[in-house]
């Protein structure tokens, strides 16, 4: 039975056509929605801590949390757009939306990095003592959200591995940096409270912040590189190329000439186009059967792939 | 960097590769092989990979295309002196099942029926 149509112009099966993993897309939307709710609560708690404390570290934490929330919101919107499916304006699907969303995440992470770095430099130049009930609110929330973020990170990493999704990979990276940030802020605040009165303790917070900034920079660069290259339609990575060539070697006697292999990635989808020449002695049925076998083998071997066999 | 040299033997044409086949140098190899093939295919070809240190998937693609073309042209093709790193790539990609590979040039000449 066909699912009910959302509107008259959206074909009911487009999500099936453009996504080889409809159930997987649903899991991804569910995972991102959970992250969005967790992020909204985190943002509210951090804002409360910020208002009730005079800590510059908590101020930086608030900006970082805000940017992360925007990043998750963008990812959720992208997944919802993909879930609704593409219309005839997007014959290859809207997978690049995932790459664009990942790119936006990377840019937001760099913005976050600047906020933390500027704040850390200011604290190094003008060391101050932290105080207020907000510090305790922040300590409790770092523990709580450290546990939640760790669970979300592991979930996103599993989905990224299972569905070969750059968006979920970027989400896993994002949650990892959040766990790292939670740990560092926790240690930084705890040291500031426990070693109250020790002169050098004022430098703990900014140094911890700079280390968090370093980890965010590394994650942002990785996401930026992968998303940009995929947006430029870079060919598939070497190990996938080897899989394609292995299939062509396996079917070596079924075709007469290899004219061209083209490949690219669009979000979590992989497109492979192979142009083969066949002998004039082969019947149309034989050619079709050979092309079908090769296509089936490749689509089985390469997760999320749509293979087109062109006949020259 | 890839160096390609060809040596005429009475019974076969030997092509020796030196360096690495990357996505950049693969097109150079493809062009050279196509030009040699266009001159009128000799019945037997020997690709000496003794000095080939590395090949990417782009190089494998060239070998696959060339193997197909020589077969279609009724020629014979053998590879020799394949280094372990390249042999491993041949093994993983299933090329050892479709290509004729000999330990050295003399053995390859025998396989080509030229000795």
Residues A44-82: pLDDT tens digits?
Answer: 888 888 788 767 677 778 877 777 787 778 778 877 776
Angle at A117 between CA A113 and CA A121, to 5 degrees: 175
A266 to chain B nearest CA, in Å?
21
Q: pLDDT category, B53, cuts 50, 70, 90?
A: very high
Given a cut of 50, whether residue A13 has pLDDT beyond it is no
B97 to chain A nearest CA, in Å?
8
Given a cut of 70, whether residue A91 has pLDDT beyond it is no
CB pair distance less than 8 Å for A257 and B72: yes
**Residue A132: CB partners within 8 Å, gap ≥ 6?**
A52, A53, A54, A55
Mean pLDDT of chain B: 91
Of B56, B65, B94, the CB nearest to A238: B56
CB pair distance less than 8 Å for B61 and A250: no
Report chain A residues whose CB lies below 8 A from the CB of B67: 252
More confident residue, A274 or B40: A274
From A96-110, A150-164, A281-295, B21-35, the region with the lowest mean pLDDT: A96-110
* pLDDT the model gives residue A14: 28
Provide mean pLDDT across the span B35-63. 89
* pLDDT the model gives residue A2: 33
Q: Chain B residue with minimal CA distance to A240?
A: B57
Provide mean pLDDT across the span A268-286. 90
From A50-64, A249-263, A296-310, the region with the lowest mean pLDDT: A50-64
ipTM above 0.90, yes or no: yes
* pLDDT the model gives residue B46: 94
Q: pLDDT category, A85, cuts 50, 70, 90?
A: low
Given a cut of 50, whether residue A301 has pLDDT beyond it is yes
**Residue B55: CB partners within 8 Å, gap ≥ 6?**
B20, B21, B63, B86, B89
Mean pLDDT of chain A: 79
Q: Chain B residue with minimal CA distance to A278?
A: B72
Given a cut of 90, whether residue A199 has pLDDT beyond it is no
Given a cut of 70, whether residue A24 has pLDDT beyond it is no
Given a cut of 80, whether residue A237 has pLDDT beyond it is yes
CA atoms B108, B109, B112, B115: torsion sign: negative
Task: Name the residue among B76, B67, B80 with its Cα closest to residue B113.
Answer: B76
- CA dist A34 and A44 (Å) reads 16
Given a cut of 50, whether residue A9 has pLDDT beyond it is no
* pLDDT the model gives residue B93: 94
What's the token pair of residue A306? 């749509």
Half-sphere exposure of A92 (CA within 13 A, CB side): 18
Q: pLDDT category, A93, cuts 50, 70, 90?
A: low
Q: pLDDT category, A248, cuts 50, 70, 90?
A: very high
Given a cut of 60, whether residue A8 has pLDDT beyond it is no
């Amino acid at each position: 039975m066909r699912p009910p149509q959302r509107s008259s112009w959206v074909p009911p099966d487009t999500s099936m056509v453009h996504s080889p993993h409809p159930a997987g897309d649903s899991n991804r939307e569910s995972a991102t929605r959970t992250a969005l709710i967790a992020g909204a609560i985190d943002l509210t708690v951090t804002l409360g801590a910020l208002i009730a404390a005079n800590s510059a570290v908590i101020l930086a934490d608030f900006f970082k949390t805000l940017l992360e929330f925007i990043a998750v919101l963008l990812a959720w919107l992208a997944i919802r757009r993909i879930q609704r499916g593409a219309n005839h304006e997007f014959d290859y699907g809207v997978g690049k939306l995932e790459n664009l969303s990942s790119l936006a995440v990377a840019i937001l992470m760099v913005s976050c990095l600047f906020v933390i770095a500027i704040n850390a430099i200011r604290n190094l130049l003008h060391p101050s003592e932290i105080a207020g009930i907000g510090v305790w609110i922040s300590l409790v929330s770092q523990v709580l959200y450290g546990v939640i973020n760790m669970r979300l990170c592991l979930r996103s990493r599993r989905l990224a591995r299972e569905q070969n999704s750059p968006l979920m990979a970027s989400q896993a990276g994002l949650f990892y940096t959040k766990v790292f940030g939670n740990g560092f802020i926790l240690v930084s605040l705890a040291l500031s409270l426990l070693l109250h009165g020790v002169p050098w303790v004022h430098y703990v917070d900014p140094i911890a912040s700079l280390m968090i900034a370093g980890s965010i920079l590394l994650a942002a660069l990785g996401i930026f590189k992968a998303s940009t290259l995929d947006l430029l339609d870079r060919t598939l990575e070497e190990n996938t190329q080897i899989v394609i060539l292995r299939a062509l070697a396996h079917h070596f006697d079924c075709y007469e000439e290899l004219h061209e292999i083209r490949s690219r990635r669009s979000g979590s989808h992989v497109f492979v186009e192979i142009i083969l020449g066949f002998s004039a002695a082969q019947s149309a049925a034989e050619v079709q059967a050979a092309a079908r076998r090769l296509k089936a083998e490749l689509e089985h071997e390469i997760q999320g792939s749509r293979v087109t066999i062109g006949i020259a | 960097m890839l160096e390609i040299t060809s040596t005429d033997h009475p019974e076969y044409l030997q092509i020796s590769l030196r360096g690495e086949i990357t996505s950049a140098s693969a097109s150079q190899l493809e062009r050279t092989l196509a030009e040699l093939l266009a001159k009128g295919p000799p019945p037997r070809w020997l690709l000496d990979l003794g000095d080939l240190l590395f090949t990417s998937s782009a190089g494998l693609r060239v070998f696959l295309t060339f193997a197909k073309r020589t077969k279609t042209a009724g020629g014979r093709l053998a590879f020799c002196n394949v280094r372990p790193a390249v042999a491993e790539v041949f093994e993983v990609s299933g090329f050892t099942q479709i290509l004729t590979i000999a330990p050295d040039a003399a053995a390859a000449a025998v396989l080509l029926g030229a000795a």
